[in-house]
Structure formats: C-alpha cells, structure tokens
Amino acid sequence: MTWINVPDGSPFGPENLPLGIFRAGDEEPRMGAAIGDQVMDLAPVASAQMLDGSQVFAEPTLNSFLALGRPAWHATREWLLDLVRNENNRDAVEPHLIPQSAVTMLLPFEVADYVDFYASEQHATNLGRLFRPDSEPLLPNWKHLPVGYHGRAGTVVTSGTDIVRPSGQRKAPADDAPTYGLSQRLDIEVELGFVVGSPSKLGEPVPVDDFMDHVYGVVLVNDWSARDLQAWEYVPLGPFLGKSFATSISPWVVSLEALEAAEVPLAEQEPAVLPYLASENLANYDITFQVYWNGQLVSSPPYREMYWSPAQMLAHLSVNGASVRTGDLYASGTVSGPEKDQRGSFIELSWAGREPLTVNGEERTFLVDGDEVTITGSATTPDGHRIGLGSVTGRILPGA
C-alpha cells in the first residue's frame, strides 16, 4: 500500500522501487526510483532528511551506490519503502515526484565487464539443432558447467537507442567463399541481466552461496545477434562480431530484494554438478517476458525454466580466481521455454527462416530496417503483487 497514486497493473508498485538514472530537462542526470508512472527524485529527499551518504543519489550512474554493498542496499530499500508507505512523508516526497513522461532515462550504470551465458536448455537445444544439425544438440559440457563467453561492455546501450544494422563476413555452407556485407539475419535474444555491486578479490572465487552479497539486481537484456556473421565466425572461440555491435538493457534496475518474493526453487540438475556449483539454496525467478515485434506480441518466454541459476553462473565465472567489479553485467543467455510461443529469439521462432511468422499481416523471419522490438517482463508474487522490470526497446536503422 502507498499514499502515491499507482495505476492498476503498473509494473512499478510500492513493493518494487527499482532504481535508475534520469535526466529532467537540462539538469544534471541523477538517481531516481520508479513508483507508478512517476520517478522519485532521491537526491533532494535524502539531503533534506540529512540521510547518511545521500550524495550517492546525486551521481550520474548507480555505480557508487552499487559499490556500497548489501547492508546499504537493504537500508536504502527500507528507507524507500517507508517513504512510499507512510503518509507522514507526503510533504517531503510529493514535490520530488516527476512524471516519467517528462524525463529521459539513461544507461543506469557504467558497465564494467559483460559476460553472456547460455543457461536455457531449450534455447541451447534449438540452436544446436540449427547450427550443428549433424551432431547432438547439447554439447558434452553443457550440463556440467554454465557455458558462457566474455562480451563487449562498451556497446551495452540503454533502451531506446537505435541499432544500426551491422556488416561483416558471412558464408553460408553452400557458398564457395565468404563475402562482406550487411547482416541479412539480424535477430534478438531475450535475456535477464544480473548487475554486480560488491566486487570480489582477484584470486578468490565467489562461493555459490555468496550470490546475494555481490549481486544487487536485474535488468532486461536484448542481446542483438547477427546470425549470419555468428555462424561463420564462431568456431572454435565462440561469439565475436555477431554479438558485439550492441546489447540493449532496460533503464530500471530491480533489486534482488524486491524479486525475492518471486523466487522459485531451481529444478533438479541431472547429472549432479561439481561441489563448487552445488548448494541447498539454488533459486530461479518466476518472471515471464513478452516480446513485441512492431507492437505485436510474438512470444512469452518463461524465466523459471532456466537450467542454471544465477548464483551458479557467478560461482562459475569466478572459479578460476577472476574477480568481479562494481558494474559487471552478466546475462542469463536467451530465455526459451518448451512451447513454440515461448522462444526467445527469431531464429528459433522462424526456425532459421523456414517457418516465417505473420507480424501485422506480413511474413517475417529476421529483422528488417525500421523494425522495432520491445521486451517487457514481470513476476507475479504468490500474494498477487506484480514486480515489473519495465521494458527494453530498440529500432533497426539501415547499415552503411
């Protein structure tokens, strides 16, 4: 409950309170919390209350806040919950509520390192069938470790950024030689991204049970993928230019504390994992995404079906002693469920172009210039409230 007007069905009810960076007019960008259709401007509220460390709310990225760690994240959440629940705060807060329509949302944090996993069994099986039709779809390592690769942090962009169609080398199996040109198989990947707050030390793996100490929250991710570039370049070192041209994230970072109400146990893993990946407390999130292609709903991938938990991903990416930094982003990998209308990429939805979709009356396989894709996602908790992640959107511009 809250004294603030929150429209029915809003992704940003009073239990959620995600954080982001907004710009109002020509003022300096700073931190805000989403509540209903409004942004709470945190810096003036915190400084009027002489809150300890209130200067972090005036910064143009979340990084300083993220570096504070779990006790401070928790205290901030308690403070925000009290602000929105307790009507005594109305006079202090109301002047600092700004309509979201009046602000521009920016990239919420400076991305340190970016890692992309491959944690959906359905997606990995589908892509195995499409990319490697003559072998077993799941490679022998897949159920022993969360497969991933290091991506390009500098090309992570915020929702609303236009995506220029990339060029590169392509060679279909039937072609004699590679050619250079614009990607003809531009695709999306629906993913959940985990945002690291507290760093770890070089040489010290992060134990699987320490996930909550390091990860602050989540964002929506669209890992744009040029399938023709990818198919030719990826053996044996994995994705490179087919993925690195742009990755879009949503502007609001939803805290793990808010998402806790939507936790579900991880499904049993068979074969059993090695001890550094094992824990009694492995959880997943009951989040459902929606994919809109030029406004038409084409898929609803379910996160709860993911094979690897985010805690296992963090334990694995640091097990060799690699440290994590404030602002690291690691993405789950494409989220695909068992049903056709739960697939998280167009290569799967159109079965590599062989089974076109009908989008607003037109046949579609991969993205054409001018197309716009919007991904939304939310969890409904057992007590019936909704924790929304907002949306991430991007439009394809012609390449040069």
Ligand X SMILES: O=C(O)/C=C/C(=O)CC(=O)CC(=O)O
Q: Which residues bind ligand X (CB under 6 A)?
A: 116, 118, 123, 127-128, 131, 189, 191, 223, 225, 234, 239, 243, 333-334
Write down the least CB distance from residue 118 to ligand X, Å.
Answer: 4
Q: Which of 15, 116, 233, 286 binds Ca ion (CB under 5 A)?
A: 116
Q: Which is nearer to ligand X, 128 or 160 (CB)?
A: 128
Question: How many chain residues touch Ca ion (CB under 5 A)?
Answer: 3
Say whether 144 is catalytic: no
Write down the least CB distance from residue 137 to ligand X, Å.
Answer: 9
Cis, peptide link before residue 271, omega less than 30° from 0: yes
Write down the least CB distance from residue 313 to Ca ion, Å.
Answer: 13
- Sites for Mg ion among residues 84-103 (CB under 5 A): none
Instruction: Kindly indicate which of the ranges 201-209, 242-250, 286-294, 326-334 contains the residues binding Mg ion, using the contact rule CB under 5 A.
Output: 242-250
118 binds, among Ca ion, Mg ion, ligand X, none (CB under 5 to 8 A by kind): ligand X
Question: How many chain residues touch Mg ion (CB under 5 A)?
Answer: 4
Q: Please check whether residue 26 is in contact with residue 65, taking contact to mean a CB–CB distance below 8 angstroms.
A: no
Q: Which residue is nearest to ligand X (CB)?
A: 333
- Sites for Mg ion among residues 171-230 (CB under 5 A): 223-224
Q: Which is nearer to ligand X, 123 or 304 (CB)?
A: 123
- Sites for Ca ion among residues 308-367 (CB under 5 A): none
228 forms part of the interface with Ca ion (CB under 5 A): no
189 forms part of the interface with Ca ion (CB under 5 A): yes
Residue 278 tokens, joined = 């094992």
Q: Which is nearer to ligand X, 23 or 129 (CB)?
A: 129
- The Cα–Cα gap between 261 and 265 comes to 12
286 binds, among Ca ion, ligand X, Mg ion, none (CB under 5 to 8 A by kind): none
Write down the least CB distance from residue 14 to ligand X, Å.
Answer: 33
Q: Which of 159, 247, 248, 250 binds Mg ion (CB under 5 A)?
A: 247
Write down the least CB distance from residue 126 to ligand X, Å.
Answer: 9
Q: Please check whether residue 147 is in contact with residue 161, taking contact to mean a CB–CB distance below 8 angstroms.
A: no
Write down the least CB distance from residue 242 to Mg ion, Å.
Answer: 8
Q: Which is nearer to Ca ion, 113 or 189 (CB)?
A: 189
Residue positions counted in the chain: 400
Write down the least CB distance from residue 335 to Ca ion, Å.
Answer: 10
Q: Which is nearer to ligand X, 282 or 347 (CB)?
A: 347
Residue 393 tokens, joined = 């959107």
- The Cα–Cα gap between 211 and 196 comes to 9
Single out the catalytic residue among 74, 96, 123, 316: 123
Strand 156-158 and strand 247-249: pairing?
parallel
Q: What is the 3-state secondary structure (H, E, C) of the chain?
A: CCCCCCCCCCCECCCCCCEEEEECCCCCCEEEEEECCEEEEHHHHHHHCCCCCHHHHHCCCCHHHHHCCHHHHHHHHHHHHHHHHCHHHHHHHHHHEEEHHHCEEECCCCCCCEEEECCCHHHHHHHHHHHCCCCCCCCCCCCCCCCEEECCHHHEEECCCCEECCEEEECCCCCCCCEEEECCCEECCEEEEEEECCCCCCCCCCCHHHHHHHEEEEEEEECCEEHHHHHHHCCCCCCCHHHHCCEEECCCEEEHHHHHHHEEECCCCCCCCCHHHCCCCCEEECEEEEEEECCEEEECCEHHHCCCCHHHHHHHHHCCCCCCCCCCEEECCCCCCCCHHHCCCHHHHCCCCCCCEEECCEEECCCCCCCEEEEEEEEECCCCCEEEEEEEEEEEECCC
223 forms part of the interface with Ca ion (CB under 5 A): yes
- The Cα–Cα gap between 18 and 39 comes to 10
131 binds, among Ca ion, ligand X, Mg ion, none (CB under 5 to 8 A by kind): ligand X
Write down the least CB distance from residue 224 to Mg ion, Å.
Answer: 5
Q: Which is nearer to Mg ion, 255 or 345 (CB)?
A: 345
Q: Which of 214, 243, 316, 364 binds Mg ion (CB under 5 A)?
A: 243
Q: Which residue is nearest to Ca ion (CB)?
A: 223
The residues that are catalytic are 123
Binding site for Ca ion (CB under 5 A): 116, 189, 223
Binding site for Mg ion (CB under 5 A): 223-224, 243, 247
